Amino acid sequence: MNGESRQIRNLLSYQDAKYTRLIIFVLLFILSYVYLRFLSGQTGSVTIFQVICLCIVFFAFFASIFEGLLILNVRFFQKRIEFDETDLFITHKKTETIVPLKNIFSINMISSGQGSRGSFNNYEINYTGDTGKEAYVSLVVYWQKRALFEKFMSVVQESNPGVTIKRWTSSIEGIARFFKRKKQTA
């Protein structure tokens, strides 16, 4: 490098969906289905092993569908969100938006939940864009990324001491936010 110090980008968004779980679910489905369809005897009575295999068939079928949809979402539709010491990088498809951290004016938790990848919190990061217009990006922070997200919030606070950070949410806020957004878009 020619004397430039390159800052390391830290990945905030979840990009870790692999095909391993999907392959396991599909194999479970195929093996259980093949056993039930072809290998179990036609004795007339149902064994406990056949009932267990039938349960595995249903579980593996639906789990593989949901896992496949998650992988599609993460790989092709979700925004990639990274940060360094000075900027937030939002990449979607082939376009990248660079937001200086000093332009972020609020970070709000909007919901939390439990999913197949563990517990998560949804955050809304509000910022002022290049044109001076306010914009936001939604971010799902899984438990694996919480420490990194805390680092992100502290770096934003260093860059912009006036930033508002809300680390809690209530059940009624989602409804209020829904009607507020509808009003703003109309």
User: Among the residues of the chain, which ranges form H helices?
Assistant: 20-34, 48-72, 146-159, 171-185
pLDDT number for residue 186: 45
Would you say residue 2 has pLDDT above 50?
A: no
Q: How far is residue 9's CA from residue 45's CA, in Å, rounded to a whole number?
A: 61
* Each residue's pLDDT tens digit, 111-155: 888 877 778 889 999 999 888 899 999 998 888 888 999 999 999
The pTM score is 0.72
Name the band, by pLDDT with cuts 50, 70 and 90, for residue 42. Answer: low
Distances (CA, A) of 65 to 62, 71, 72, 78, 94: 5, 10, 11, 18, 27
- Tokens, residue 66: 């949901």
Question: Which CATH number describes the domain made up of 85-185?
Answer: 2.30.29
- Beta sheet of 104-115, edge-to-edge order: 134-142, 118-128, 104-115, 164-166
